[in-house]
Structure 1
Amino acid sequence: MFGENALRDRSTVLIVDDDRTVRGLLQRALHLAGYRTAVAADGYEALATLATFEQPITAVVTDAIMPGLAGTALVEEAHARGLDLGIRFYLMSGNMDVIARWGNRASGFHAAFTKPFDIGHVVRQLDEDLAPPPGAEPDVQANGIGWLARALAQHDSGTGAHSNLVTRYTAVLARAMAVPDDIAVDIADAAALHDVGKIGVPEAILNKPGPLDAAEVAVMRGHGEIGYSILSREPHRLAGLAAQIARHHHDRFDGSGYTPLAGFAIPLPARIVAVADIYDALRSARPYKPALSHEEAAACLLVGDGRTDPSHFDPDVLTAFRSALPEFQRIVRYGPGTDETTTTDHKECG
């Protein structure tokens, strides 16, 4: 029943059930089948795990009815927080009415398992659904060019947390712009590598506890070209897209950015990531500045203040950003520099 499957070892399944026995049974079975696992006792714990777990979650198998946030509501809440990117959700219940009402794709679930379930059937379903087609490349965040993002996180932990959040904000923005789902997923995955060129920036500059001088600014501004140089040599399917984003995410719609490109000549993925990138930078504390609140950061982008101005961004992306503000606010922020502390006298957006 648990035959060898070379593709399983890169899949992590989150098991969500308030019954410890069920969690343990599924965890042991999936380990024997070669899957990595994480566990949560309710929907809220599951959301926290999706936001912070050290490995990308591939699938969530959740009980339908639990104290706190029920499994039937978990999919919707994960989507609202931008935590469902590339994840398949599966429902478990011993109530056939619940299975009939919720255990379908219209409700966000890929499939449903009836309790008491056949462990072999669960494993076979996951094998069938999670195994990529023959010849498919590894996911960016797992065994593909995601190693570059992990290397950057070791070089600069703040940039690692920033990249994770930019990925989630990018996914929300792309959806708000009605980008087709498969393309939106690719753009969000590639966005994780937008700052990979900072691997080539000295740590003394990255971690300087104050504004950069002119020479340091020139070095920092080179990270886009460094990122492009690194990514454009990678054979991964998304390397070209990631390289494009790395080079152009600091370009400005009014032509005042890092390269001479302006307006719609800037690739759309980079125009989307530009807004996600600046929003998270504004929300994040640095040694030389406090974090802005969600409302303050949104005002900087939409109204302008200090060094940030709406003319820097694609108006269509800003329209999508305005429509998606509630989703941006619901995304859980974590990692270095992402505390919610603000000061009332901090008014500059740059």
Structure 2
Amino acid sequence: MTEQKGTVLIVDDTPANLQLLESILHAQGYAVRAAISGPMALKAIRIQSPDLILLDINMPEMNGFEVCRALKADPQFVGIPVIFVSAAVDTADKLRAFEEGGVDYVTKPFQPLEVLARVATHLELKRHRNHLEELVQDRTRELLLTQDAVIYGLGILAEYRDPETGLHIKRTQLYVKLLAEQLRHHASFQGYFDDTTIRLLYHSAPLHDIGKVGVPDHILLKPGKLTEAEFEQMKQHAVYGREVIDRIAAGMHDDSAASFLRLAGDCAYSHHECWNGTGYNGLSGDAIPVAGRLMALADIYDALTSKRVYKPAFSHERTVEIITEGDGRTVPEQFDPAVLQAFMDLQGSFKQISNAYRDEDTASHLSRSAASGLLSETDKNGACHA
């Protein structure tokens, strides 16, 4: 048995032409399908995409040019090579065939060897093109993985300065992604949260605290409430973070990298901004970048549910109560109302992530505190500067 070389769809309203082409191609190991009209051809293509199409031009109801135009308008089928087969020898017809997206033109009455040679050539070209596209996709995937590893590494660099935060990076990444997907169709963010933006937000989230590398250890690791001067210095980590990312962006000449770094810079600078204007740098309302609004809530939730040098870990339930009702330091008015509502709708998923990626010391602290009833108390000596 001859090895099958690919699937060819023949489209022609003349049964004799269909039979002849089918016998020629089948004898050479091609799988052959046939359609006697343009609409039938488009239906057949949608059911099972062929590797190549031999397409007659002069057909009733829908001519070959119209079929090819409809085919090339669909991203799913635009890569299928189309060879026009026609009795027309006029140069204008041939030019139009190529303009409509055809890759070749065979004149009737055709020679079997010529048809076979052209079919083989264009199938081989298609295989090479597909292979190149696979190589590009593989290379792109490798570059993205490398980018993600570098980003994550930079985020971990900040975590090394603040060792008690452990899995903070992973948790906040997942929280931000949850919020973004929940708000995708919200009227306030119409058209903002597409797949690309959500991916960029997810992968830029680890850099939100990169500015901590510029904060002295005696402030960053202080086991108690900061003085006013110390807190002012702590607040600078948002500025330091944006400066670091801006310096990286200045050396980049790639638009996709620039988009990513812009989101990362927004997140680093504005994740401590408050909707009511009481945040680190005084931004309020819509002036706060979207990335910062999402991270602000994710960061607060994670800080409250995690043990820190300056505070105990609170339970998920107590944390939700603090965020939605306030506790004197955290108030609902500091969050974008749409983001706050998304959090309330997603609180079950937040709890699942918190439990799945919980630090060991936080877990043991919660267990001890729950047994002794300490989770109902509020740490009045620690500022929430996670």
The TM-score bracket by the shorter chain reads 0.5 to 0.7
State which of 149, 152, 170 in structure 1 corresponds to 2:158: 152
1:220-263 Cα deviation digits (max 9, x unpaired): 00000000000112134422211111001101000111112100
**RMSD value, Cα:** 2.5
> Which structure 1 residue ranges, 5 or more long, are not aligned?
1-123
- Mapped partners of 1:315, 1:298: distance in 2: 15
* Residues 326 and 135 (structure 1), Cα distance of their counterparts in 2 relative to 1, 3 Å cut: closer
- The amino acid of 2:162's aligned partner reads D
State which of 256, 259, 262 in structure 1 corresponds to 2:278: 256
What residue in structure 2 maps to residue 338 of structure 1?
362
Q: Is the 8 A contact 2:183 2:339 kept in 1?
A: yes
- Mapped partners of 1:334, 1:273: distance in 2: 18
What residue in structure 2 maps to residue 197 of structure 1?
211
Shift of 1:161: 2.5
Q: Greater shift after overlay, 155-164 or 336-345?
A: 336-345
1:223 partnered with 2:237: yes
> When the two structures are superposed, what TM-score results if normalisation uses the length of structure 1?
0.59
SS in 2 for 1:164: helix
What residue in structure 1 maps to residue 79 of structure 2?
none
Shift of 1:138: 5.0
Q: Greater shift after overlay, 328-337 or 241-250?
A: 328-337
Q: Is the 8 A contact 2:164 2:309 kept in 1?
A: no
Q: Is the 8 A contact 2:209 2:268 kept in 1?
A: yes
Q: Greater helix share, 1 or 2? A: 2
What residue in structure 2 maps to residue 347 of structure 1?
378
1:297 partnered with 2:328: no
* Residues 257 and 140 (structure 1), Cα distance of their counterparts in 2 relative to 1, 3 Å cut: farther
1:165 partnered with 2:171: yes
- Mapped partners of 1:192, 1:268: distance in 2: 16
Answer with 1 or 2: which has the greater Rg: 2
Q: Is the 8 A contact 1:272 1:317 kept in 2?
A: yes
Shift of 1:288: 3.2
- Mapped partners of 1:159, 1:198: distance in 2: 12
Q: How many residues align?
A: 224
* Residues 156 and 140 (structure 1), Cα distance of their counterparts in 2 relative to 1, 3 Å cut: farther
Q: Percent identity?
A: 35
* Residues 157 and 336 (structure 1), Cα distance of their counterparts in 2 relative to 1, 3 Å cut: farther
* Structure number with higher relative contact order (C-alpha < 8 Å, ≥ 6 residues apart): 1
Shift of 1:210: 1.0
State which of 202, 207, 226 in structure 2 corresponds to 1:212: 226
Q: Is the 8 A contact 2:151 2:203 kept in 1?
A: no
> Which structure 2 residue ranges, 5 or more long, are not aligned?
1-130, 185-192
Shift of 1:154: 2.6
What residue in structure 2 maps to residue 267 of structure 1?
289
